[in-house]
Structure 1
Amino acid sequence: MLRVPAFRRLFLSRTASLLGDAIAPVALAFAVLGEGGGSATDLGLLLTARTLAEVLLLLVGGTLADRLPRFRLMAGADLLGGLAQAGLAAMFLAGAYSLGPLLALSALSGAATALFLPASTGALPLVVDAGQLQPANALVRVAQNVSMIAGAALAGLLVAVVGAGWALAVDGATFLVSALLLIGVRARPQVKAAPASALADLREGWREFVSREWVWVVVLQFAVLTTCTAAGMRVLGPLVAERDLGGAGPWSAVLTGQAVGLLAGSFLVLRVRPRFPIRVATYATFGFVLPMALLALGSPLWLLVAAAFVNGVCADVFVVLWYTALQTHVPEDRLARVSAYDALGSFALNPLGLAVVGPVTAVIGVTRALWACVGLAVLVNALALLSRSVRRLPAGAP
């Protein structure tokens, strides 16, 4: 796959920008709380501004990606994201901490992500043959997972050696490198959506989304599943680690196990070619539940790390099979819009789950809250398998 020049440039660009994505959270947190002298509330507001901009503009990004050349749109989004990160870096390096401009730059960064994501889903079929989509997706996930692991380590090193402001500058530079690589991609001609109004474009994308039962069933499943896992692993998991395991160090070991599992899953799905990919992908979602169940049972650290590894493997198997199915079965001129509805629906309930898990835990306790997350996740996974469309979607295009 890497012998194909267009895919190689896409692979390298994704590696560069994903490395920056891994650096950004660590650099921003230490820039705000350390060099900027801000508060945890300030950091939460900056993250909220980025997330809101991303969610609100996802459908716009999907519509544009079905109308405009996708690689140029991705390059433009990378340039926008790089300028936003460079602006953040400049403010911290100059000692000009001001929440208003920082919120604007964070929102600009979120907007860049919203423009990039739907186009990136639709870009891969333009540079590889249909039969190579699954290994190509798996290789992109390898790049993502290696970048996550390396970026987290690099972020800590940069913050310690040159400071958080310069770490943000390095993050901005990775996006500019990605944009330069994308500009040079020579892809086959793209089938574009027919001219219509923006509202008509959105309606057409929605019809395409709901006309495929396997798509909307899995997106509904993930709306609940990702909410449960976000509450269980981002809020309740650290609480259990602080109470029973010894704090941040042991919890970091659990997250490292998950990251290594993600990488292992990428290599596994390079070779596995299931006949019914969405059925296998849905089976894999049961692995998401394992770490939460073991947290509720009070399991020892080594078992939690092993469960997180399995979770990572299952997550990557799902992601690769899911995106390959979308790219195989959704028409090219509507793929980006369907991808945008997918992303929007899959994570729409996350803010609600993160907001209510604290009050609910205060009433019923951490263990019962974890079991509630486990039970709800298992239920929606099982319900998804009741759909014949989920169980029987073939690997090849119709």
Structure 2
Amino acid sequence: MPSPTSLSILRERPYRLLWTARSISALGNALIPVTVVFAVLRSGGGAVDVGTVLTCHAVGQVAMLPVGGVWADRLPRKLVLMATDAVQAFCYGLLAVMIFLHQAAVWQFAVTYTIAGMAMAFFTPASRAVLPELVAAERLQPANALLGLTDSTTKVLGPALAALLLAVSGPGTAMLVNAVSFLLSFVLVSRMHLHRQARRSGRQHFFADLRDGWQAVARRRWYLANLLAWGVWNFAIAFFFVLGPVVMEDGHGGATAWSVVMITGSVGSLVGGLAALRYRPRRPLVITNAAAMLGVLPPALLAPPAPLPVIALGVAVTFIMTSLVGEVLATTQQQLFPEEILARVSSLDWMISLIAMPAGYAAAAPVAQFLGTRTTLLAAAALIGTPCLLLNLLPGVRSVRRLPDGTIGIEGERDTAATRPEATTVQ
């Protein structure tokens, strides 16, 4: 369990309000992936319609991430968070009303769910970028870890709660619960007083702002390589999620076995979140890239396939790693880049991840048909491990260290913009 020191971050009222708001809205939002599928089906839609609605949401989010990153750097981030809460409360409230009145059509689901996805594109970079304005730099990792642990917990509880609401009442109730969760989040965030606000640079053209943020990443090619390698990781791990059920269904335990694998993965995420509250590596990027090589376990173990307990253990270890690594990487990003461009940097990070995994989902089956399932899974394992191994050969990756004061900086840089949160330029 996390130590009292790890949880002491909750004594800081601004962070406590953000954490409570995020916890409530995350639990409400965790109801939606299951709920929206059955809402579309019960409104007369079919499998194609479900796919269309889910795709619209994903496309809306990915397309608007660059826009969300720019505006989360231009505007006070508290205001951006409140606006996204309000938009999502309206969207899910509207869907609930349409369902209760039996007036919901597939196109209405698609449009409303797309708008909700677009709002998430503003929320995601703003939510990460606002943390340095709430807590001291040396406390960023427990702050990130506690939020990540909450997200992992809600993803475990959300589907079960959604199933209960669907059985007892119907999809309209779950939609309404989510709308209320965003309203509560809006109220809590509105009461959040920032310790300070990041300085805003002079307003310029949108594309100039976008270019400046992304060029800050491109100037550090080793950091851009790190982001792209994690994109490759997400692309390759998607093959496991697509081909895993196929392998299990082919005489290796079927749906029950796959459920066991997914449950152990969820437990692993929670364990990794707890570990992130305490573990602060001296070389963040070196350790995270070395740990990421554990991602080879799920596809490699599935290829023979190994016995179910072995596969489940490998997945649990991988999920522990991804949960832990995710919070370390978020903290590193928040301290390597100036706060006034942090949302744009974060939006690029999220966009790479959100594009890579769906691309892997789409590619898995055709590649497996061409190469065979076993060869495809082994190739996916190689695609996961090789970039992680090569990244640690880059001097820039090895130069990122935890400093004596507990913050993260670059070895050899003194008083530079990249290692000071209050800075306004990037070295």
Please report the TM-score for the alignment, with normalisation by the length of structure 1. 0.96
| 1:288-367 equivalent positions in 2, closer than 5 A | 288-367=295-374
Unaligned residue ranges in structure 2 (runs of 5+)? 1-8, 403-407, 410-418, 420-427
- Give the letter aligned to residue 263 of structure 1: L
- Give the letter aligned to residue 303 of structure 2: A
- Give the letter aligned to residue 195 of structure 1: R
- Give the letter aligned to residue 274 of structure 1: P
Moved more, 131-140 or 81-90: 81-90
CA separation in 1, counterparts of 2:326 and 2:118? 23
1:210 counterpart residue number:
218
The alignment status of 1:89 with 2:123, answered yes or no, reads: no
CA separation in 1, counterparts of 2:96 and 2:247? 35
Question: Secondary structure of 2:69's match?
Answer: helix
Unaligned residue ranges in structure 1 (runs of 5+)? none
Following superposition, the deviation at residue 392 of structure 1 comes to: 2.4
The alignment status of 1:371 with 2:378, answered yes or no, reads: yes
Cα distance per residue 1:13-43 (max 9 Å; x no partner): 111111122111011112122x213111111
Task: Give the one of 127, 135, 138 matched to 2:145.
Answer: 138
- Give the letter aligned to residue 72 of structure 2: A
| 1:97-136 equivalent positions in 2, closer than 5 A | 97-136=104-143
1:8 counterpart residue number:
16
Q: Percent identity?
A: 35
The alignment status of 1:236 with 2:243, answered yes or no, reads: yes
2:173 counterpart residue number:
166
CA contact (8 A) 1:284 1:317 kept: no
Moved more, 88-97 or 122-131: 88-97
CA separation in 1, counterparts of 2:102 and 2:349? 40
CA separation in 1, counterparts of 2:271 and 2:329? 17
CA separation in 2, counterparts of 1:290 and 1:256? 16
Following superposition, the deviation at residue 364 of structure 1 comes to: 2.1
CA contact (8 A) 2:238 2:358 kept: no
The alignment status of 1:263 with 2:270, answered yes or no, reads: yes
| 1:274-285 equivalent positions in 2, closer than 5 A | 274-285=281-292
CA separation in 1, counterparts of 2:154 and 2:34? 14
2:395 counterpart residue number:
388
The alignment status of 1:21 with 2:16, answered yes or no, reads: no
Question: Secondary structure of 2:193's match?
Answer: coil
Following superposition, the deviation at residue 98 of structure 1 comes to: 1.5
Task: Give the one of 154, 166, 173 matched to 2:161.
Answer: 154
CA contact (8 A) 1:385 1:391 kept: yes
CA contact (8 A) 1:121 1:336 kept: yes
Q: Provide the alpha-carbon RMSD of the alignment.
A: 1.4
Cα distance per residue 1:225-251 (max 9 Å; x no partner): 101111222x11111121133322221
The alignment status of 1:40 with 2:47, answered yes or no, reads: yes
CA separation in 1, counterparts of 2:99 and 2:295? 38
CA separation in 2, counterparts of 1:293 and 1:156? 33
- Give the letter aligned to residue 369 of structure 1: T
CA separation in 1, counterparts of 2:87 and 2:202? 27
Give the number of aligned pairs: 396
Cα distance per residue 1:176-198 (max 9 Å; x no partner): 21111111110023122321110
